[in-house]
Structure 1
Amino acid sequence: MKLPKFIRENLLLKMTSLNAGVIGVRLFISLFIQRLVAEMVGEVGIAKIGQLRNLMQILTSVTSGGIFNGIVKYVSEHKEDKKQLQKLFSTAFVFIVIGSFVSSIILFFGANYISTYLFENTSYSYLIKLVAVIVPFISLQRVFNGVVNGLSQYKKFAKIDLYSYLLSAVLLVYFLINYNIEGALLAIIVTPVIQLTVLIFIFYKVLIEYIQFSKLSFKTPLLKALLAFSLMSFVSTVLLNLVEINIRTMITNNSSEIDAGTWTAMTNISKNYMVFSISIFSLYVLPKFASIFSERDFKKELISIYKTLLPIFGIGMIVVYLLRKYVVLLIYPDFIGMDLLFKWQLMGDFIRLASLVLMHQFLAKKLVRNFIFTELLSLILFYVFANYLISIYGVEGVVMAHLFRYIIYFVVVFFLVFRYFHKQKKIENID
């Protein structure tokens, strides 16, 4: 079916409309899976799944050295410069080898400790050891995915995302039905293997065109440039997921594991629609901001992005809020009191979306200090607010903390982004 002219002429809308179809399919399948998971393992099982997902997210950063955004940036800027790309991928190769080796060793020999930290017992240490074996697949998938995003191959990205999700969903359902909670955890661990296989199958020709595998060397010509992205990824991914793990433990200790599962279920619903924006950030926003150098052009692009994305998300979130009781009844019928969390979570997510668009200027211009400062501020605010509010409002305090944290975060990021342009103007005037 041919897209309307106004969509075809707006690249962001074009990507958004294509993504909408993929996200729609994902959302439908996700609702079915989440309902099945809720019925079979309950809140306690969902809390355990949340802990493992956080670990897997940490590994997507650590195993690849945290250079995903660096790959997106340099591929988008130097896609025609094969020599520069070879330097990039040789450096990335070193990051992958070191990151994967260190991660595997820690996971394998520290399996008992990690299992106790995540699940408060050693029963799942064998799964942690399996994660250690899967590590190379995680790192390769992350790096290759950076190439897809850097080239803005949004059609191929949509295919990869859809097919890998469908296969992973089938595996999850099969393992869940046959092996209950341990099966669900096993399926999550194996998912990166499926994602990498699908990516290579669809994107193989493009990968060998841009990555000359035979010429890769164990050298790091872009070490300094990519280390900045590693540091930023450590803060935004590793620390974020550690904070979420600790907050889930905090809820368990202050309230119950059932409440921890309820909050995890709320974040699952949030992630279902926020995943839509994440792909837009890496496919469109980051490459676009990387190519903009004046405040005037930045403001113009920022307004255009906001005018396109915010109304779509705003309307969608209002619909979700109005139908919240039905959403809970459909997906998590036994999760009593979950509908109270929606207003705080949705308002926080809306402000988060507006903030993350701005924040990608830090990544595009490699403003490491600004990025690290704002991310640390965000995480500290979340942890402190959650710790205080849980003691007063219970699990609802966590989603309240989510909103308050992003209000402050947005104000600070907005100020720092435009301070950057004012500094650039002063430098230009001096020159």
Structure 2
Amino acid sequence: MKIPGFIKRNLLLKMTSLNAGVIGIRLFISLFIQRLLAEMVGEAGVAKIGSLRNLLEMLGSFTSVGVFTGVVKYVAEYKDDKDQLQKLFSTTLVFTIIGVFTVAAVLFFGAGYLSETIFDSLKYEYLIKLLAVVVPFIAMYRIFKAVINGLSRYKVLAKIEIISYILSSALTVALLLIHNLDGALIAIAITPVVQLLALLFIMTSILREYVQFSKLSFKIPMAKSLLAFSLMSFFSTVLLNYVELDIRVMVTNRLSEVDAGIWTAMTNISKNYMVFSSAIFSLYVLPKFAGIYTKTDFKVELANIYKTLMPLFGVGMLLVYFLRDYVIQIIYPDFYAMSPLFKWQLLGDFVRLAALILGYQFLAKKMVRNFIFSEIISLSLFYGFSYYFVEIYGVEGVVIAHFLRYVLYFLLVSYLVFRYFKNNNNSTKKDSVA
């Protein structure tokens, strides 16, 4: 099947169309797995699986010391400069070794405490210790994936995503059928191993072309540059997942574990279509914004991204909303309490997409203080609104909080991004006068 000419001429549309195929396959498999999970483990089990996924997201940042975005940015900038790449990967190696050993030790020796805190039971201590063994695979997968993103090898990334998702899904189904909830949790915990093996099978030759493994040294010449991204990753990934975990515990304590499972199921559906955007951000938006230095060029590119992505997402979200009862019936039978949550979740996700596109300017220009400030405000709003609205609207209060949080976040990010260009423009004028 040939790609239409207007898509070929637009790199963003080309990436989006390829990504759509990947997401379509993922979505089809995900529908089957999520329904199976809903039927076999119920709302309480879905809540526990959601907590494990939050923990894995946090580990992805901790084990690589949060340098994913930094590696994407600098690989995109230095892909033709072997010396700079060696400095980048040597620094990344040291950071990753420190991160892996630290996280593995905390998981292994703190397994009991973490099991009690996250799952409200000591039963899952074995699962935390299993994660301690898996953390090197999590770190290596994150770093190597960052290299692919930085090189904008979106076709290679699509192939890796498909193969690893099919294999990990098959593993999840097999262990779920054999060991029920424990089997599903174990499968999810070891998914990073499957992902890394799939990645290495497909792109070992590409990695060798850009990463001279034999010449890597235990030096950190780019430590300062990467630490800025580590700090930003801590706030965007670690704190976000910590807040989600805390809100799930709050909903469980103030309402019930069933309500926590209902909200987790809603976020699972949200993540299935929002994952469509994540690859586009890393492969296209970040490298593009990194090379833009004037307000005019930025506005042109922003308008191009908005007019390409926002209508696609808008139509998709409208379809999800009007077909929500069928979606629930297909994916989460008997989770009918989810229906009122769709409106606020979808509205929030639409505004979130617009805000995140703008917010990638913080990463592209390493605007650390602006990024951290906006993330702290965003997460504080989410938790504060959730705590307040749960008392009034029950579990629906969490998705109302989600919507309000992103409306305010969008306004804040818009102000900070355009203030950056205004300040830069003023500085340039002063320099030229001088």
Map residues 339-418 of structure 1 onto 2, 5 A cutoff.
339-418=339-418
Residue 103 of structure 2 corresponds to 103
- For 1:363 and 1:70, how far apart are their aligned partners in 2? 8
Please say if 1:90 is aligned against 2:90.
yes
Map residues 163-312 of structure 1 onto 2, 5 A cutoff.
163-312=163-312
- For 1:298 and 1:197, how far apart are their aligned partners in 2? 38
Q: For residue 336 of structure 1, report the CA deviation from its aligned partner.
A: 2.8
Map residues 5-154 of structure 1 onto 2, 5 A cutoff.
5-154=5-154
Question: For 1:124, what is the secondary structure of its paired residue?
Answer: helix
- For 1:365 and 1:349, how far apart are their aligned partners in 2? 25
Deviations 1:188-223 (A, max 9, x none): 011000110111111111101100000111110000
Deviations 1:341-391 (A, max 9, x none): 000000000000000000000000000000000011100000000000001
Residue type matched to 1:191 in 2? T
Q: For residue 95 of structure 1, report the CA deviation from its aligned partner.
A: 0.7
Deviations 1:288-340 (A, max 9, x none): 10011111110000000000000000000000000001101111111131111
Question: For 2:340, what is the secondary structure of its paired residue?
Answer: helix
- For 2:278 and 2:411, how far apart are their aligned partners in 1? 21
Residue type matched to 2:215 in 1? K
Question: For 1:219, what is the secondary structure of its paired residue?
Answer: coil
Q: TM-score, normalised by structure 1?
A: 1.00
Residue type matched to 1:382 in 2? F
Question: For 1:292, what is the secondary structure of its paired residue?
Answer: coil
- For 2:313 and 2:9, how far apart are their aligned partners in 1? 21
Deviations 1:220-244 (A, max 9, x none): 0000000000000000000000000
Q: TM-score, normalised by structure 2?
A: 0.99
Q: CA RMSD in A?
A: 0.4
Please say if 1:427 is aligned against 2:427.
yes
- For 2:336 and 2:320, how far apart are their aligned partners in 1? 18
- For 2:22 and 2:228, how far apart are their aligned partners in 1? 33
Deviations 1:23-82 (A, max 9, x none): 000001100000000000000000000010000000000000100000000000010000
Tell me the matched-pair count.
431
Gaps of 5+ in 1: none
Deviates most, 329-338 or 59-68: 329-338
Deviates most, 326-335 or 265-274: 326-335
- For 1:407 and 1:321, how far apart are their aligned partners in 2? 19
Identity of aligned residues (%): 64
Q: For residue 140 of structure 1, report the CA deviation from its aligned partner.
A: 0.5
Question: For 2:336, what is the secondary structure of its paired residue?
Answer: coil
Q: For residue 161 of structure 1, report the CA deviation from its aligned partner.
A: 0.5
Map residues 318-333 of structure 1 onto 2, 5 A cutoff.
318-333=318-333
Deviations 1:231-258 (A, max 9, x none): 0000000000000000000000010000
- For 2:365 and 2:17, how far apart are their aligned partners in 1? 28
- For 1:333 and 1:164, how far apart are their aligned partners in 2? 27
- For 1:296 and 1:198, how far apart are their aligned partners in 2? 42
